[in-house]
Amino acid sequence: MTHSVSSGSISPAFLPAPPLPACSTLALFLDVDGTLVDFADRPEAVRVAPSLPPLLRTLRERLGGALAAISGRPLRDVDALLGLGGPAAGLHGGEIRYADGRVAAPPRGDERRMAALYAQAAAFAARWPGVVVETKPDALALHYRTAPAAAAAVREAADALLREAGPGYALQPGNHVVELKPAGVDKGGAVAALMREAPFAGRTPWVLGDDLTDEHAFARAAALGGAGVIVGPRRPTAARYALAGTDAARAWLAALAAPSPVARGRKA
């Protein structure tokens, strides 16, 4: 199973905190779990701070609409959590919703095959208390946050699922999770697709994220003249800046959304 991301990742001893770039030129892409909200034992158990949705709405307005959540969750779950709507990407870029409401998604795979894979994953999880199966459209994830001793077994089970799924699928490791998803889909592609259209086109992309799935987006942002901001201690990374955790990420977003500090008038 491949864990690396071909992104020119670096591992400096220290990454600086991000400055506050000018809102008039910024396009902002935000991972959800581990970036905006803290992880929970189960994906459905995460808690959203009451102040977060209004903060994101205010920030989107300041950015002229150029803000999008990019998540491994389906779009419907992102919407339910954030109450934000508008441009967004779900399923690691497998679903992309544009500012005009269009949703782009590749054709789904064989439903019977996916049902068999869900059942195989559930049978594995039943043998490992604490392992949670998250089912998604044409994808699934094995979470082992409360069962770290199961890490090696989860990787073996994921490899077996991949063999059953066939060449159209790939494994994406993450923070106490391994996901089976369609091959060739990642958050970098989602950033690139959204950046081609209004209100993102012509702006400088910045990406906030915490996990390996965000490295594709960090790399794409850098290639487009922007920057990645890693949330948390994970290294190596292609991000240019770092924030200590979700509290720091929300505080940085609040500072960016605040009325015109002098620092925001300067380009980072």
Question: Which residues are part of the catalytic machinery?
Answer: 31
- The closest of 82, 9, 29, 54 to 203, measured between CA atoms, is 29
Peptide bond into 236 cis (omega under 30): yes
What is the identity of the amino acid at 55? L
Strand partners, 201: none
Buried b (16+ CB within 10 A) or exposed e, 23-35: beebbbbbbbbbb
Q: Is the dihedral of CA 116, 120, 123, 125 positive or negative?
A: negative
What is the identity of the amino acid at 160? A
Tell me the Ramachandran region of residue 93: left when phi exceeds 0, alpha when psi lies from -120 to 50, beta otherwise.
left
Query: What is the three-class DSSP state of 140?
Result: strand
Residue 53 C-beta-side C-alpha neighbours within 13 Å: 12
Residue 53, Cβ density class (10 Å: 0-12 exposed, 13-18 middle, ≥19 buried): middle
In terms of DSSP bridges, do strands 169-174 and 177-182 run parallel, antiparallel, or are they unpaired? antiparallel
Residues 18 and 229 sit within 8 Å (Cβ to Cβ): yes
- The closest of 64, 29, 51, 24 to 187, measured between CA atoms, is 29
